[in-house]
Amino acid sequence: MFAATTRLQTVQKEVTAMKTIPTTDFKTGQMTFFTGPAAALGEPMYKGHIMAAEEINALGGLLGKRKITTIKADEAAGTDANVKELRRMALEEKIDMFAGITSSGNTPALGPVAEELGVLTLFTDGCTDFLFDKAVPNPHFIFRITNIQSADGVTASVMANMQWPNVKSVAHLHPDYSYGHNAYDHFKIVMSKLNPSAQTVYEGWPKLGTSEFTEHITKIIDAKPDLLYSSLWGGDYVAFYKQANGYGLFNKMHFASTLSHGVAPQFLGKDHPEGTIAGHHSNYYFTYSNAQPGSWPLNDSFIARYRARWDGEYPNFQAEGAYTGVYMLKTAIERAAKLVGGWPEVDQIIGQLEGLSMAAPAGYIYIRPDNHQAYKDTVTGLSKNSPDYPFNIVDPMSVVKMPIQKLTAPPNWPKGDPTSTYTWIDQTWPKLSS
């Protein structure tokens, strides 16, 4: 009897849903860094989100009826203030979806709150493994678009081993917070498999937001490593490479980065060294498909539209991630609406987001149902100064795409420490013998 009533209620709900597509706006909250050193990396996220919303609105909105509106907030306010702002957006502004976030320090704080509030959330970044490994191991309302963080360190390490297999000594320079430690851990575990005899000769842990690296630069040069590996990013990284140039650091060793080319492209000057591993969060750099012009038209048209909308700027991986996130939402809503015959409930949208796969500017992307994390093949390449661009780029001829399935822990792999991917590599990758 009880089951029958519940069933009836569900059916009634679906019947009412079928008739109604609200004409009210679909309200989204977007939070990323609008100020400070992280803005060079995070702010394009907002631009990608807005551009997707404008494109959808130009065709009438979601399901042709609901316009997407966006309220924004500055992530630089700090974690506590960000949590308050999410609550305010949900309770006062009554947003239908929350999106954005750059820092790995913020998603583990915001994720549980979004779950508690029941707000559909598409984190663009803040991609720490910790979020779905530990903070919210069974997510319902929250999803994340850009690749999982461990893929960064793994991709950079594999690329470094492909590029320079004879490295004997490695120096590390990472910001002293979760991202830096994650990049360090995964680089090391991959090195222990692919180049087990390589020694670590230096570790530097400057504070996130530091712009003074002369001391570290001298120590690194003094340690005489074959390879310097770093996860510095945003304004910090720009200050670092400019200072390192003055000391001739890049002439003395190879350099591999996880995120040097993650900033909005115009921030890296032509003074940036060439031939370094030019990481971009293992997600997307706009030149990645240029080696075969026209081979991925989705990217070509995305770049053209982004440049037309944002004063000739080129998109970074955050812009692409936020843009793709909004389109994934649109696709999920359309599919759910087709099934229920009208505007879907949030749970029905979530049901369609789980397992959703689509073609995006960065390539194919897939949301794993078990952990709500989106995956795409990782990408990296080498830096180059091309006459075609006024800034240092990732050389399209050097781009390497790696299948994500080979780099990250599979579904249902037991939660591990420090991450599931770490234990998965540790237990399943063969060790290269010399």
Partner 1 sequence: METLAIYLLNPLYYAAILFLISAGLSLIYGVMRVVNLAHGSLYALGAFVTAWLVGLVAAHVPAVVLYLILPVGALAVGAVGLIIEPTLLRPLLKRPEEYQLLMTFGLLLILEDCMRLLFGPYPLFAREPLEFLGSSIIVGDLYPNYNLLVIVVGLVTAAFSWVLTYKTKFGVIMRATSLDMRMTSALGVNVKRVYLKAFAIGAFLAGLGGAFSAPTQGAVLGMGQDALVLAFIVVVVGGLGSLEGAFVGSLITGFVRSIGITLFPEIELAILYLIAAAVLLIRPKGLFGRD
- Residues lying near partner 1 in the complex (CB under 8 A): 34-37, 39-40, 43, 76, 176, 203-207, 209, 211-212, 214-216, 218-219, 221-222, 234-235, 238-239, 242-243, 245-248, 267, 269, 271
Nearest to partner 1 of 183, 425 (CB atom): 183
Is residue 418 within 8 Å of residue 182, measured between CB atoms? yes
Nearest to partner 1 of 230, 352 (CB atom): 230
Nearest to partner 1 of 196, 209 (CB atom): 209
In 3D, which of 296, 279, 26, 272 has the Cα closest to residue 146? 279
Minimum distance from residue 33 beta carbon to partner 1 (Å):
8
Rg of the chain taking only CA atoms, in angstroms: 22
Nearest to partner 1 of 37, 321 (CB atom): 37
Nearest to partner 1 of 93, 176 (CB atom): 176
Nearest to partner 1 of 267, 286 (CB atom): 267
Is residue 425 within 8 Å of residue 154, measured between CB atoms? yes
Minimum distance from residue 234 beta carbon to partner 1 (Å):
8
Minimum distance from residue 177 beta carbon to partner 1 (Å):
11
Minimum distance from residue 157 beta carbon to partner 1 (Å):
21
Minimum distance from residue 221 beta carbon to partner 1 (Å):
7
- Torsion of the alpha carbons at 325, 330, 333 and 338, rounded to the nearest 10: -140
Minimum distance from residue 231 beta carbon to partner 1 (Å):
16
Nearest to partner 1 of 161, 178 (CB atom): 178
Minimum distance from residue 206 beta carbon to partner 1 (Å):
6
- What is the distance, to the nearest Å, from the Cα of residue 132 to the centroid of all Cα atoms in its chain? 14
Minimum distance from residue 328 beta carbon to partner 1 (Å):
27
Minimum distance from residue 90 beta carbon to partner 1 (Å):
26
Nearest to partner 1 of 204, 325 (CB atom): 204
Residue type, 8: L
Distance CA 388, CA 91 (A): 49
In 3D, which of 152, 140, 145 has the Cα closest to residue 30? 145
Nearest to partner 1 of 40, 120 (CB atom): 40
Burial (Cβ within 10 Å: 0-12, 13-18, ≥19) of residue 11: exposed
- What is the distance, to the nearest Å, from the Cα of residue 32 to the centroid of all Cα atoms in its chain? 13
- Please provide the distance, in angstroms rounded to a whole number, between the alpha carbons at the two ends of the chain: 69
